[in-house]
Amino acid sequence: MLFTEFNLEDAKVVWFEEGFKEGLEEYRKERKFEVARAMFAEGINIEIISRVTAIPMKMLKQKLTI
């Protein structure tokens, strides 16, 4: 039988790292949309924006209210 000891300090580190990764991923997604909005405002074709940002066309149309 395998026994592991729960260590609160180790758990806090893991929770922090997981939260940090989730926050960073959310920031990256939001930043992509900011770039897409800026590109759209400059008159760049939505198909090109989709390719460059790797955001699906359907999602871009929703976010950019086209």
Structure-model confidence comparison of residues 43 and 12, the more confident one: 43
pTM over 0.75: no
Does some domain include residue 9?
A: no
Domain housing 58: 26-66
Domain count, the chain: 1
- Greatest mean pLDDT among 22-26, 47-51, 62-66: 47-51
Q: Which of 26, 32, 25, 28 is nearest to 54 (CA)?
A: 32
Looking at the chain, how many residues does it have?
A: 66
Does some domain include residue 6?
A: no
| C-alpha gyration radius of the chain | 19
Q: CB atoms < 10 A from the CB of 36, how many?
A: 21
Structure-model confidence comparison of residues 45 and 8, the more confident one: 45
pLDDT at 1: 44
Does some domain include residue 55?
A: yes
